[in-house]
Amino acid sequence: MATEQETRPTEVTMEEIVALCKRRGFVFPSSEIYGGLGSTYDYGHYGVLLKNNVKAEWWRAMLQERDDIVALDSAILQHPRVWEASGHLEGFTDPLVQCLGKCKKRWREDHLREAVEAEGGDPDAELRCPQCGGELSEPRQFNLMFETHVGPVADEGSTVYLRPETAQGIFINFKNVLSFARKKPPFGIAQVGKSFRNEITPGNFIFRTREFEQMEMEYFVPPAEAQKWHQHWMAERERWYTELGIRPDHLRVRAHGEDELSHYSSATSDIEYLFPIGWSELEGIADRGDFDLTQHAKFSGEKLEYFDQQTKERYVPHVIEPAAGADRATLAFLVDSYEVEEVEGRQRTVLRLHPRLAPVKVAVLPLVSKDGLPEKAREIFQDLRRRLPTEFDEGGSIGKRYRRQDEIGTPWGITVDHQTMDDDTVTLRDRDSLEQVRVPIEGLGDELVGRLEAPWRTPKLD
């Protein structure tokens, strides 16, 4: 659960991030020509590339860098019994209160209580509408699942739900995966995909929306090893964010109190990030025990357990779940990399993204659009694009083009000038150090791929 009300100033405001995203076409409000649909967003070109890179890095950490996890892509629509078994039909609720005063706004009561507590107040005595100060209704539990119908007749038997998490698709496939993956606990099943929640108070840009993408992995372990693996995954997931450039002092781990735990969890720790709205959940790492497999075994009549051939032991594995949001992670990477600085008397906005996350890795820029420079630059571009996401840009002054690339976080710029025509060298500009070096065209691809694969540390720490 997020503590959105607990604020602490950061260098960048949410408004600045929203403005950059709109200006450069990363993310913009959905259905805008119809006046928008509250808190839904569309991703434009650079936003798609950035979020794809975030997801690719997650897959890399789950699949390529280890050999104990397999991938899955399950359906969004599932049998309605899934949500009965999982407890979502009954328990996936948030406490809703409505202002009885002037504004009639709806709020999440738990968030309001946290805000009062953060100020040192007593939520039992002081809970009022934050907008108009009005009295609040008694809380009622509001189910967050979106309901829809399959087939042409909308009756009770046709009700299905848009999945509110990707995890259940993994549990119901436990047996399938076990039969083909040749894995034994500890092993994991990873999935990335859309989830839907009818949030009472969506907002803060793509931090909380009603339709979002999750990156979830269910790690099945022998029961006695659950605690050890919980610790392991907390450390691993924190490392993932910092290796991709998030400053360690903008991350913290917070263990859930007893009263906060979800119905399925015996222990959960959140990795929180210092968003412009304050410390808020970025990812939850839960010990789900044997709750899900036991429930689905009970409701489906299938045995969901593991039989160890060697020890002849039969058991229901426990589950450790790192559950991250692709959109929330993308927002965190945007916030953490954003910087405005003065360069030679002019302001520049730069996204100091990890090169692997950057939507475009290299921009090829002819200094002028004459004397054969654009053609030469295009040749270089054609060559580089086979190996790296590359952009060709010949419009506007060179300074303006650098600014544009800085704003989308492109780590390297190649400038083709008159000297290039004589000696087949170009200028290679570094986004962060602003260093410009003369390098031969030959071997440029190898040089850039080498830089992309080298360990990287955010210059914000220097």
* CB 87, min distance to ligand ATP, A: 13
DSSP character at residue 204: T
218 lies in the site for ligand ATP, by CB under 6 A: no
Which of 16, 117, 199, 339 binds ligand ATP (CB under 6 A)? It is 199
Question: Residues in contact with ligand ATP, total (CB under 6 A)?
Answer: 18
* CB 188, min distance to ligand ATP, A: 16
Closest CA to 253 of 265, 236, 266: 236
Binding mask 147-176 for ligand ATP (x = CB under 6 A): ------------------x-----------
Q: What is the DSSP string of 412-455?
A: EEEEE-HHHHHHSEEEEEETTT--EEEEESTTHHHHHHHHHHS-
Contact by Cβ (8 Å): 302, 259? no
285 lies in the site for ligand ATP, by CB under 6 A: no
* CB 280, min distance to ligand ATP, A: 7
Phi, then psi, of 260 in degrees rounded to 5: -95, -20
197 lies in the site for ligand ATP, by CB under 6 A: yes
Tokens 């090893």 identify what position? 225
237 lies in the site for ligand ATP, by CB under 6 A: no
Binding mask 308-337 for ligand ATP (x = CB under 6 A): ---------------xxx-xx---------
Residue type, 155: D
For ligand ATP, the closer of residues 46 and 241 by Cβ is 241
For ligand ATP, the closer of residues 109 and 281 by Cβ is 281
Which of 186, 188, 284, 359 binds ligand ATP (CB under 6 A)? It is 284
Beta-carbon contacts of 406 under 8 Å, excluding residues fewer than 6 positions away, are 348, 349, 350, 351, 431
Token pair belonging to 290? 């044997």
* CB 81, min distance to ligand ATP, A: 21
88 lies in the site for ligand ATP, by CB under 6 A: no
Buried b (16+ CB within 10 A) or exposed e, 192-220: bbebbbebbbbebbbbbbbbbbbbbbbbb
DSSP character at residue 26: S
Torsion of CA 291, 297, 300, 301, to 10 degrees: -150
Tokens 């969004």 identify what position? 76
* CB 170, min distance to ligand ATP, A: 14
* CB 111, min distance to ligand ATP, A: 9
212 lies in the site for ligand ATP, by CB under 6 A: yes
1 lies in the site for ligand ATP, by CB under 6 A: yes
Grouping H, G, I as helix, E, B as strand and the rest as coil, residue 161 is strand
Which of 2, 244, 353, 414 binds ligand ATP (CB under 6 A)? It is 2
- List of residues contacting ligand ATP (CB under 6 A): 1-2, 165, 197, 199, 208-209, 212, 214, 281-284, 323-325, 327-328
